Amino acid sequence: MMLLGQETGMAAYWGGWLLTIGYIGLIAMISMYGLHRYWLVFLFRKHLRNSKRPSKRYKDLPMVTVQLPMFNELAVAERVIDAACEINYPKDRLQIQVLDDSTDISKDIAEKRCEYWKNKGIDIEYRHRVDRVGYKAGALDAGMETAKGELVAIFDADFVPPRDFLKKTVHYFTNQRLGMVQCKWGHINRDDSLLTKGQAIFLDGHFVIEHTARNRSGAWINFNGTAGIWRKTAIAEGGGWQHDTLTEDVDLSYRTQLAGWDFLFLPWMNCPAELPPEINAFKSQQHRWTKGSIQTAKKLLPRILKSNINWRVKLEAFFHLTSPMVYLYVTLLALLFYPAIYVNLNALGDSRVVAIVIGMMFFVLGTISGGVFYVISQQVQKRSLIETIMLIPILMAIGIGIAANNAVAVLEALLGHESAFIRTPKYNVPGEDGNVVVKSKRRFGVIAIPTQKLSICLLELAMGVYLLECIRLSTIHGRTVVSFPFLVLFASGYWYVGLTSLWWHIQAWRSKRIMAAAGV
């Protein structure tokens, strides 16, 4: 009996150590990426005034092909075609390509709109595929066969390119080593809800801080799939559009820069777009971006790290491509909260000092870094500081709440699970971005998304219940009360995302029934 007790005690001792190592290791990994955010803010501040201007201007404007890839864009097909055809650029120097893989009546809408503009003298080509091989990458690659321009501008269907977009950007290509220009995304409907406000700030952080810091400090950036212009030669030398990842834009970007081409980000050139107005569309988009980034990391990071480029560029590429791993770390950390409270990390002793140090490290590096990152992204755009600070807890909750959804995406990528490219539903929401006012012509019911299964929603709600129990335990065990604020934040995030996802699932089912009854 004594021997059995000793064995049990040893198992508990080593179990406590393993738990402690796992718990602290996850916090350290999350904090490492948080520290990197501080580094990006530092680089942003350091290079804030290092903006670039074209070294010279074209005497004869280059030929430009505008590509509009779309798939079942019933709500926005007409809008983006009209905006592209109204771009202020010489007609004999501009070609519009509508690259349509649609399988519904949006095909007829797009084709008729192309005929309308062709009759007005616009060089517009309508290309329809029936097989969808390669999804968006396949459509773009197919369009290259008849693209006339030496430059290729790309806009997704939810974007509204400004009339002066080309005249303000093409002159940068007088630099013969410039392969791509990426412009900042605007947000037509940023003030519609807490969700759209949160998404707008997330994206502002990526564009305003990340892209600016990387590009101006000499690191590499990526094309974001839309609102950018490519040199056709650079696409070819980078290996062309490939579809073995879900982020064909990131993939081509790194391959092209490995081939020696330069990229440029223009933070002042705003291109308005629609944000997903409901949570399941947002989660679907995040799932694709997360999975695609990890797929690209698996595909290209070994090649990047073995290349003879500057080590700083390699390091930045590593953090950029592997950053979605944080979602997996956050989910695993949440799952360890309960055993951490139960075991109480006894392997490190009973002192509260250890718990406080760990908590403060996580708070400063894993939590506050995000707040600083996003507050500065809004401050430099002259948005309300008070409003932004008030939104930070919402941002954190949303980021944590989608962690389970994105952790699944990370695991799928790591395990090599193949999945289709699922477009983000567009609703043609009315809104305003800068001087661009967008009016809605139609309103549609909620669009169901195949990849957003109810099981993920139920998992998020289960995580919310689990964390409520962790909160209860943390109030009982005085030594773990330092974790209380984090537990509340985590629980709030999972409950918010889980409940709103369930609500929109129900609305999608109702819309589907109504549309089926109406014969749509």
List, by residue number, the catalytic residues.
Answer: 101, 249
* Six-digit token string for 53: 């201007």
Output b/e per residue, 409-432; b: 16+ Cβ within 10 A.
bbebbeeeeeeebbbbbbbbbebb
Cα gap 474→487, rounded to integer Å: 9
* Six-digit token string for 361: 């490290």
Cβ burial, residue 229 (10 Å; 0-12/13-18/19+): buried
Q: Residue 151: beta bridge partners?
A: 64, 231
Cα gap 394→193, rounded to integer Å: 12
Cα gap 240→79, rounded to integer Å: 28
Segment holding 264, helix H or strand E = strand 262-271
Residues 6+ apart with CB under 8 A from 411: 328, 417
**Beta strands 262-271; 94-100: pairing state:** unpaired
Name the E strands within 45-117. 64-70, 94-100
- Mapped onto helix, strand or coil, the DSSP state of residue 66 is strand
Residues 6+ apart with CB under 8 A from 9: none
Tell me which residue of 106, 84, 111 sits closest to 95, measured CA to CA.
84
Tell me which residue of 398, 510, 505 sits closest to 455, measured CA to CA.
505
Residues 6+ apart with CB under 8 A from 149: 62, 63, 64, 65, 95, 232
3-state helix, strand, coil in the chain (%, to 5): 60, 10, 30
- Mapped onto helix, strand or coil, the DSSP state of residue 163 is coil
Segment holding 263, helix H or strand E = strand 262-271
